[in-house]
Structure 1
Amino acid sequence: MLPFFQDRRRFTDLSEREIVALAISSEEDDARIYRGYADRIRADFPASAKVFDGMAVEEDDHRRRLIELHRERFGETIPLIRREHVADYYGRRPVWLIESLGIERIRDEAEAMERDAQAFYEAAQTRVGDARTRALLGDLAAAEAGHSELARSLADEHLGEETRDAEARTAHRQFVLTWVQPGLAGLMDGSVSTLAPIFAAAFATGDTWNTFLVGLAASVGAGISMGFTEAASDDGAISGRGAPLKRGLASGVMTTLGGLGHALPYLIPDFWTATAIAFVVVFMELWAIAWIQKRYMQTPFWRAALQVVAGGSLVLAAGVLIGSG
């Protein structure tokens, strides 16, 4: 890594021609990023996609004005210099990382991009002596500062109240399908399915450490199994349930946590103290599942509670009876 950083130029060492070339490549990159955002969200958020399309057109206009300036001052050949070639230049987060997040996170990233670009043009103004170049860089700094207003005006044009409500519902639905539903299924599986082996081991051996090991193994094993099953069951392309990696992660992690909740008390050496705490944890887990079902799945609370608590109680009783037999 050291030779790479040694080869990078500092912004203060760039010539005026290189500063203009850097601005051109940055505007090209930002236009591509905005179009990538638009394509990413067009199916679910068509109105917001139009906002990003409009911002990409603005970046194209900036690039055109910079190229005209370069052509008049320095000729047709534009030096190849990009943001990664400059050590103290602002960077951009990977597009794939931002695109994997929600619509609000993408909007926040776009605002950060405009602030970074504004700061660059303001700094670049102090590095050039040509009056026309300074004027253009100042105009672009003002334009970047005004892009928040542009985004708002485009949003007002394309995002009416009904459209905003529809996009909010779509975003909520996507969140539920990608994170809540797989996570809830995992939590239910981890909390309920591990009850029998954990409490069977507890009442069969009376040994808290061995019971904890059984619970740990059951929880981790169930988490891995549920995670892979969820990720492999549906790639999300047709169902719209989101990326399989996200769903698998949500399901696997929540399954593991669901089982560990009532396994961890058995780290306490006293058997009955550990068991009493484990019973309380089980009760809290089952009621938490019922609340999540009501909050996100629109299931009536008492019906959800009856289903979850009744099912969990039956599994718990089976584990205790088997362990005591």
Structure 2
Amino acid sequence: MKNFADLTEREVLAVAIASEEEDSRIYMSFAEDLAARYPDTAKIFEEMAEEERGHRHRLLALYEQRFGPHLPPIRREDVKGFLRRRPIWLTKNLPLDTIRKEVETMELEAERFYAKAAEKAEDVGVRRLLGDLAEEEKHHENLAVKLTGDILKPDVRAEEDRTRRRMFVLQYVQPGLAGLMDGSVSTLAPLFAAAFATHQNWQTFLVGLAASIGAGISMGFAEALSDDGSLTGRGSPWLRGLTCGLMTTLGGLGHTIPYLVPDAWPNAFWIATAIAGVVVFFELWAIAFIRARYMDTPFLQAVFQIVLGGAIVLGVGILIGAA
């Protein structure tokens, strides 16, 4: 790799040309990804891509005038000092804030590159063009920052906020809630069956731990393999799977951990069972609240479905364990 200070004027222009071409393609990728979800923001990225193409044409014209038609094969990856970028533009259904932050970074890097290149340039025409591009890239940077504010009309912004909430529900709340419901409810029967069959806290804890982790792994893979998110817009399948798996495990561990009460304590089994019962109560009400808050389910209906279902599963586990 070359140090920036060692670049010739010709190489500086070549790096700038390659960078503008790549940035234009990245902005178009963002625009295509956002078109269905955030059409007004997508148009802004299309305009930014067109401006980058304009920068490239101006740089090419100056380069051909100064050095001829042949461009040396050098890109910013060959120069020390440029940030190593994650190719997030290859990922579909990115959160809007992630894209905006990436754009801010891109434009800040471009503005600093042009400012330093202008200071280094000896040719007056090259210095002028690089200085102008530094100012224009700074405008782009400010535009990326303001995309969350006054660039978009209030009604457009409100629609995008509603879309963002829907995407949040699809990508995080829905798989997380499914996992929490499964972990909190499905592990009740084996846990309390083991508890009332053995009256041993440690043995009960091991059963609950195994049930929670096993259910987490199963639910995680089931969610990840259910769809790839390309049509439903539900985001990365492995992120959804991880969310679902973790919430499933946590849902089961909530009422399993009380059985860590040492068996040596007086009435240890009943103490642990009482604590576990309280935890189950709060788990089921939390699930009902999340369903009402994010899934547009009437709160009383959510309470009836979740609490009644959980109570039935709990009762089945106790009956089986006590048999």
TM-score by length of 2: 0.90
1:279 Cα shift?
1.9
Mapped contact 1:190–1:223 kept (Cα < 8 A):
yes
* Structure 2 match to 1:44: 37
* C-alpha spacing 1:87/1:158, structure 2 compared with 1 (3 Å): closer
Q: What number of residue pairs does the alignment pair up?
A: 318
Q: Which runs of 5+ in 2 are unaligned?
A: 264-268
Range with greater deviation from structure 2 (118-127 or 240-249)? 240-249
* Structure 2 match to 1:314: 312
Alpha-carbon distance in structure 2 between the residues aligned to 1:136 and 1:218: 66
Q: Which runs of 5+ in 1 are unaligned?
A: 1-7
User: Given the alignment of the two structures, is residue 25 of structure 1 paired with residue 18 of structure 2, yes or no?
Assistant: yes
Give per-residue Cα distances to partners, 1:186-232, cap 9 Å, x unaligned: 11011000011111112212222222221121112111222222233
* Structure 2 match to 1:160: 153
Mapped contact 1:196–1:316 kept (Cα < 8 A):
yes
Identity of aligned residues (%): 58
* C-alpha spacing 1:189/1:128, structure 2 compared with 1 (3 Å): same
User: Given the alignment of the two structures, is residue 297 of structure 1 paired with residue 289 of structure 2, yes or no?
Assistant: no
Mapped contact 2:103–2:141 kept (Cα < 8 A):
no
User: Given the alignment of the two structures, is residue 131 of structure 1 paired with residue 121 of structure 2, yes or no?
Assistant: no
* C-alpha spacing 1:78/1:103, structure 2 compared with 1 (3 Å): same
> What code does the residue aligned with 1:140 have?
L
TM alignment of 1:50-129, pairs within 5 A: 50-96=43-89, 99-129=92-122
* Structure 1 match to 2:266: none
Mapped contact 1:48–1:155 kept (Cα < 8 A):
no
Give per-residue Cα distances to partners, 1:250-294, cap 9 Å, x unaligned: 222211111111122222314333323222221221111011011
* C-alpha spacing 1:153/1:65, structure 2 compared with 1 (3 Å): farther
Range with greater deviation from structure 2 (252-261 or 151-160)? 151-160
* C-alpha spacing 1:10/1:267, structure 2 compared with 1 (3 Å): farther
Q: Secondary structure at the match of 2:122?
A: coil
* Structure 2 match to 1:35: 28
* Structure 1 match to 2:322: 324
Decide which of 213, 221, 225 is 2:206's aligned counterpart: 213
Mapped contact 1:37–1:99 kept (Cα < 8 A):
no
* C-alpha spacing 1:65/1:249, structure 2 compared with 1 (3 Å): same
Alpha-carbon distance in structure 2 between the residues aligned to 1:144 and 1:288: 48
TM alignment of 1:104-253, pairs within 5 A: 104-148=97-141, 159-253=152-246
> What code does the residue aligned with 1:63 have?
R
Q: Secondary structure at the match of 1:126?
A: helix
1:53 Cα shift?
0.4
Mapped contact 2:193–2:320 kept (Cα < 8 A):
yes
* Structure 2 match to 1:259: 252
TM-score by length of 1: 0.89
1:85 Cα shift?
1.1
Mapped contact 2:104–2:145 kept (Cα < 8 A):
no
